[in-house]
């Protein structure tokens, strides 16, 4: 008998995926839904704050480079609105400066090695593991 990992009835965390690359959004959505997460997706930063406020996701996966707005600016705004919202910054353009910007005062992020929380732990292991990596 084959067991379908995507068929569990127990709901998982609410995850907002924000990325301007359609293939990335669809890949995250498919994988997260397979792991029982309730997923909403956005392709730009224009609606992020409205969705975060109205839907209150447990975790936001946020691309750092978006049209019209910086992921770092969105991180600051999300954390200003609700410090308990977990935000995982994603980028294909990682630099030390970018990492420092997300965790310095005002960025309201924190080194991802300190970010393992029950909400992040509820995510699929491949995502939760990224929150355990050091920024350094």
What pLDDT, in 10s, does the model give residues 31-58? 999 989 999 999 989 899 999 999 999 9
Which positions ≥6 away from 17 have C-beta within 8 Å? Answer: 25, 28, 29, 32, 39, 40, 41, 42, 60, 61
| Predicted model pTM | 0.71
In the chain, where are the structural domains located? Answer: 13-130
Q: What is the mean pLDDT of residues 102-130?
A: 54
Instruction: Give the CA distances from residue 35 to residues 29, 30, 126, in Å, rounded to whole numbers and listed in that order.
Output: 10, 9, 11
Confidence of residue 108 (pLDDT cuts 50, 70, 90): very low
| pLDDT on residue 116 | 45
Confidence of residue 93 (pLDDT cuts 50, 70, 90): confident
| pLDDT on residue 132 | 46
The DSSP call for residue 42 is E
* Structure-token pair, residue 44: 């730009």
Query: Beta-strand (E) ranges in the chain?
Result: 14-18, 38-42, 59-63, 65-66, 69-70, 86-90
| pLDDT on residue 114 | 36
Per CATH, which fold does 13-130 belong to? Rossmann fold (3.40.50)
């Amino acid at each position: 008998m084959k067991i379908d990992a995507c068929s569990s009835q127990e709901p998982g965390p609410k995850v907002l995926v924000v990325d301007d690359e359609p293939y990335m959004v669809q890949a995250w959505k498919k994988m997260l839904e397979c792991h029982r997460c309730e997923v909403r997706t956005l392709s730009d930063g224009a609606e992020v704050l409205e969705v975060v406020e109205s839907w209150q996701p447990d975790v936001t996966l946020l691309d750092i480079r978006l049209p019209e707005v910086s992921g770092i600016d969105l991180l600051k705004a999300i954390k200003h609105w609700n410090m308990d919202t977990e935000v995982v910054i994603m980028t294909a353009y990682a630099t030390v400066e970018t990492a420092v910007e997300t965790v310095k005062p005002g960025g309201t992020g924190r080194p991802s090695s300190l970010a393992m929380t029950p909400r992040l732990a509820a995510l699929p292991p491949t995502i939760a593991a990224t929150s355990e990596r050091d920024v350094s």
